[in-house]
Structure 1
Amino acid sequence: MGSAVVHVHLPPATAAASWPLLVGIPPLLASSFQPRAVLRAAIDEARCAGEDVVLTQVLSGGGGVGKSQLAASYARDAARAGTDLVLWVSASEVQQVIALYAHTAQLIQVPGALGADVEADARAFLGWLATTSRRWLVVLDDVTDPAELAPWWPAVHSGVGWVLATTRRKDGRLTGQGRRKVDVDVYSPAEAVAYIEDRLATDILTHLLDGSQERIAEELGFLPLAIGHAVAYLISQQMTCADYLALLQNPEHSL
């Protein structure tokens, strides 16, 4: 059986965009986003290990650990710093990647991107990335099929560019050719508690804090997504941490 056809609709690119340029929409950072300094240091170390070449960092981890949030924070930092091109691509379907590459080629008027053939324009864009002197960041969010994506990774090139990918996959096809995997795990206990306390403080609800914060985080396995849902419940129900912990520990009660 053939694979499903994915239709990607993008606005027409009629005139060259001005620099710097953000293409695609990184997700908004969560309220009380935790910068996760230790994890960012690991990402930065993997990047610097390449010395004068662009490395691709592949953020690999289970659902809900915050891979896309980390990638979004880097994308937004790069945009604020004036990086010439920041491209955010949903990479769950390879056709989405190809379509956005081709669209970007039209926006920046890449030589050879004529608008008649999407894949040809996408390849022209990859060629531009490999030779340009402009600074760029390409984020490939949620890579699900490394084999299909294999021809569409931006080329490793010295000095100006950087590729950041997120995935739940662990297989070896994600590494090599300048790509390095960085494992993303759950919050540390300190990060989990800081998130709960910061989030409640933002809503002026610190009276709900009663010393049970870390116990809640532990019960939820320090998973960022689960903790985010828990805090949203605390806020909506005006419930203390101790009362919420009691609900968590009562298997007969459903939140």
Structure 2
Amino acid sequence: MPPPPGIWSVPASTSRNLAARDDLLAEIGAALARRGVAPLCGLGGTGKTKLAIEYAYRNAGAYDTVFLIDGQSQATMDASFVTLAAEMRLPDHEQLDPARAVGVVRSKLGRRGRWLLLFDGVRDPSEVEPYIPSVSHGGHILTTSQNPIWRGLTTVNVRGIERAESVRFLLQRTGETDAESADALAEELGDLPLALAQAGAYIEETGRPLAEYLALFRQRPAALLERPVSFPVTVATAWESSLAAVFSHQAAAELLSLCSFLPMDAIPRRSLSEYDPLALDDAIAMLRLHSLIEVRPHALSVHRLVKIVVRNQLRRDDRRRWMEAARRIVQASGRISPSTEEEREGRTEPESG
């Protein structure tokens, strides 16, 4: 769909790596209609940015101005607003410093409707507040963030795609008909859009059949989460900054390390009762800032690929330590322990030396 007349600064919509997520697109539309602001939140790799771009393309005719802003820092947002001031042909825009550009753009947009600003990659919701124009006249704000805490706003939680969509995507991308292997691979990848796109690209580049890729992934998961090298962002790199932040916080690092060895999808809170409740809450809060953990009423959940990446980053001694801690919790809960093979390797890559 071509963009409408007016200001349009949005990357091309690459639907090849995006499932048809009509339910989420409808949820975004409803949130914007209610409040004018819709934060898209979730783990890195769930397709938040592609979803926001897809929404912009599908609703292009409703806006005169659609502009994507790099929301990762004050500096990137300042630069985006200077560019937007020029696009809007505001008076003396060539002489506007960033602070003035932000002010005049906010003022101009706040007095009219039919505009959509997409703030991509927001780290802290408080950092974007000074840049948001009034939406009282019909303007809309879409944000993408790993941080799910947007006080006073209902967030759109972006998770993995439905299994049927995962299978359909893998079969279409690879040109194969092996639905059984596609289903099994989608299960291994936790239906994460980025991981599915990576797998499809790897199979396309190497010509390896789906069934063979599935077998290889079960043997070398961490290595394949770094491939293909031609892929712009991989699962292994998408969470680098988040994991670095978490591992600078001792309680959060310990909780994530432990969870990475627990085989259950839903980890009962009561199974962590031996830990100090305040320290546990601090750790959970830190992990939630990066969507590395999902909190349910009586349980916690960590995506299976996060577990693989975390286990692979741990030193051998730490791996043994957390594997043993996880064994105690699994045995106390009466669940089946991980297999001997999983215990020995922790589903990580072999260490050199």
TM-score range, shorter chain: 0.7 to 0.9
> Does 1:170 find its partner at 2:159?
no
Number of the residue aligned with 2:29: 44
1:91-110 equivalences in 2 (<5 Å): 91-110=71-90
* Equivalent residues of 2:70, 2:80 under 8 A apart: no
Q: Which deviates more from structure 2 when the two are superposed, residues 38-47 or residues 89-98?
A: 38-47
The alpha-carbon distance between structure 1 residues 114 and 232, as it changes in their structure 2 partners (threshold 3 A), is closer
Greater percentage in helix:
2
Q: Does 1:189 align with 2:163?
A: yes
Matched, 1:119 2:99: yes
Q: Alpha-carbon deviations, 1:154-178, whole Å to 9, x = none? A: 222233x21100000122xx242xx
Q: 5 Å matches for 1:60-139? A: 60-79=41-60, 81=61, 83-110=63-90, 115-133=95-113, 135-139=114-118
In 1, Cα distance between equivalents of 2:209 and 2:96:
60
Taking a change above 3 Å as real, the CA distance of residues 156 and 252 of structure 1, as seen in their structure-2 partners, is closer
Provide the aligned length of Structure 1 versus Structure 2.
Answer: 221
Against the structure 1 CA distance between its residues 231 and 114, is the aligned structure 2 distance closer, same or farther, given a 3 Å change threshold?
Answer: closer
1:147 aligned to 2:126? yes
Q: CA deviation at 1:20?
A: 1.1
Q: Structure 2 CA distance, aligned partners of 1:206 and 1:193?
A: 11
Q: Which moved more, 1:219-228 or 1:238-247?
A: 238-247
Q: Is the 8 A contact 1:60 1:182 kept in 2?
A: yes
Match of 1:245 among 185, 202, 214: 214
Note the C-alpha offset of 1:114: 6.6
CA deviations over 1:73-119 (Å, ceiling 9, x no partner): 1223344x272111011110122212222322233233585724221
Q: Structure 1 residue 251: deviation in Å?
A: 4.9
Equivalent position amino acid for 1:199 in 2: R
Q: Which stretches in structure 1 are left out of the alignment for 5+ residues?
A: 1-17
Task: Give TM-score scaled by structure 2 length.
Answer: 0.57
Instruction: Give the match for residue 20 of structure 1.
Output: 6
Provide closer, same or farther for how the CA distance between residues 154 and 26 of structure 1 changes in structure 2, counting only shifts above 3 A. farther
Larger CA Rg, structure 1 vs 2: 2
Poorly superposed stretches of 4+, deviation over 6 Å: none
Contact 1:98 1:119 in 2 (8 A): yes
Q: RMSD in angstroms over aligned alpha carbons?
A: 2.4
Identity %: 29
Aligned equivalents of 2:144, 2:221: Cα separation in 1 = 37
- Could you say which residue in structure 1 is the equivalent of 2:184? 215
CA contact (8 A) 2:163 2:186 kept: yes
SS for the counterpart of 1:98 is helix
Q: What letter matches 2:211 in structure 1?
A: A
In structure 2, the CA distance between the partners of 1:143 and 1:122, relative to structure 1 (3 Å rule), is same
